[in-house]
């Protein structure tokens, strides 16, 4: 789940999403999103690169 405000990330947690991503390209701030997010990205445009590194990382 990707969201730009705290309500989005609260919904992700309540819904049991496996990954809650906060993005700063909307209404949230790093301080408001970080407590609920697994990661906070500067922009939703950064999502493909972030996901590519997660997929290609070796299982450990």
Q: Does the pLDDT of residue 59 top 90, yes or no?
A: no
pLDDT tens digits for range 6-55? 999 999 999 999 999 999 988 999 999 999 999 999 999 999 999 999 87
DSSP bridge pairs for 23: 41
User: Between vectors from CA 47 to CA 42 and to CA 52, what angle results, nearest 5°?
Assistant: 130
pLDDT of residue 2: 96
Helix (H, G, I), strand (E, B), or coil: what is residue 3?
strand
């Amino acid at each position: 789940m990707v969201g730009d405000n705290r309500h989005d990330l609260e919904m992700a947690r309540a819904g049991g999403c496996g990954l809650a991503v906060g993005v700063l390209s909307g209404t949230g701030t790093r301080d408001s999103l970080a407590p609920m997010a697994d990661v906070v990205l500067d922009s939703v445009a950064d999502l493909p690169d972030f996901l590519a590194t997660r997929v290609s990382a070796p299982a450990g």
